[in-house]
Amino acid sequence: GQQLNQSPQSMFIQEGEDVSMNCTSSSIFNTWLWYKQDPGEGPVLLIALYKAGELTSNGRLTAQFGITRKDSFLNISASIPSDVGIYFCAGLRNSGGSNYKLTFGKGTLLTVNP
């Protein structure tokens, strides 16, 4: 099935560093969501974006909904060891009546070295 283009595939950083990851698509999405998944668990919602150009923060996390509606990025500032995990972007379209069907990226594996 179709998935979003998410990059980088993996990152290895030092504690305290800032992190940036992004997602792109050839199609327009009307909602962008960012999830974090720990091993053996389901994805946990971090941030939801509903309007093109929107910039939203949640603690050390900041995400933006691209103005073309075809991309989004997630920044994590001052990383800590518990930020380790897989981060997924996901999008919702309004086309074809399927405005409930999430399309996911392949994920970014983040490793933080204490």
Partner 1 sequence: GAGVSQSPRYKVAKRGQDVALRCDPISGHVSLFWYQQALGQGPEFLTYFQNEAQLDKSGLPSDRFFAERPEGSVSTLKIQRTQQEDSAVYLCASSSSREQFFGPGTRLTVL
* Binding residues vs partner 1 (CB under 8 A): 1, 3-4, 6, 31, 33, 35, 40-45, 48, 50, 88, 90, 92, 98, 100-107
CB of 36 to partner 1, least distance (A): 11
Q: Which is nearer to partner 1, 40 or 59 (CB)?
A: 40
Q: Which is nearer to partner 1, 4 or 74 (CB)?
A: 4
Nearest to 100 by CA among 26, 33, 22, 4: 33
Q: Which is nearer to partner 1, 77 or 86 (CB)?
A: 86
The torsion of the CA quartet 21, 25, 29, 34, rounded to 10 degrees, works out to -20
CB of 20 to partner 1, least distance (A): 19
Inter-residue contact 13 to 110 (CB < 8 Å): yes
